[in-house]
């Protein structure tokens, strides 16, 4: 069974540009979560999508947004990039229903803002 995949592996942008990160969940999983792992700050919850809807978001400004497609893959968009957006962005997926509570993580996208 294929795991969670993310693309690209690395992304280099300059301040003010936009970044788009992509995530494909494990087959059959309907929920996708996005996390930011910045140096020294641990993992911070960004967004949760389930069945195509945004269910919750963490304490991040509106320039962090995303969407989930009908095939349950997801996209994270970061507008007006700032230097402090440099981080590893992790996507995780979870199976349907409230009885499945384990999230499975992808390898991440390393975003560098210059």
Binding test (CB under 8 A) with other proteins, winner from 17, 55, 96, 114: 55
What CA–CA distance (Å, rounded) separates 78 from 84? 12
Is 98 near other proteins (CB under 8 A)? yes
Site string for other proteins, 27-46 (x = CB under 8 A): ----x-x-x------xx-x-
Decide if 87 contacts 38 (C-beta within 8 A): yes
Binding test (CB under 8 A) with other proteins, winner from 24, 32, 48, 93: 48
Is 101 near other proteins (CB under 8 A)? yes
The sheet carrying 64-68 orders its strands as: 5-7, 19-24, 74-78, 64-68
Q: Residue 49 or 85: which CB sits closer to other proteins?
A: 49
What CA–CA distance (Å, rounded) separates 20 from 92? 16
Binding test (CB under 8 A) with other proteins, winner from 67, 75, 104, 112: 104
Decide if 73 contacts 22 (C-beta within 8 A): yes
């Amino acid at each position: 069974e294929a795991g969670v995949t993310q693309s690209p592996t690395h992304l280099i942008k300059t301040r003010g540009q936009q970044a788009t990160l992509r995530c494909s969940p494990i087959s059959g999983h309907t929920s996708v979560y996005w996390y930011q792992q910045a140096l020294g700050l641990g993992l911070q919850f960004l967004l949760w999508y389930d069945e195509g809807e945004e269910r919750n978001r963490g304490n991040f400004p509106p320039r962090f947004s995303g969407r989930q497609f009908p095939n349950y893959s997801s996209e994270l968009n970061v507008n007006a990039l700032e230097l402090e957006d440099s981080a590893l962005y992790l996507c995780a997926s979870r199976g349907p229903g409230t009885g499945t509570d384990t999230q499975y993580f992808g390898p991440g996208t390393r975003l560098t803002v210059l």
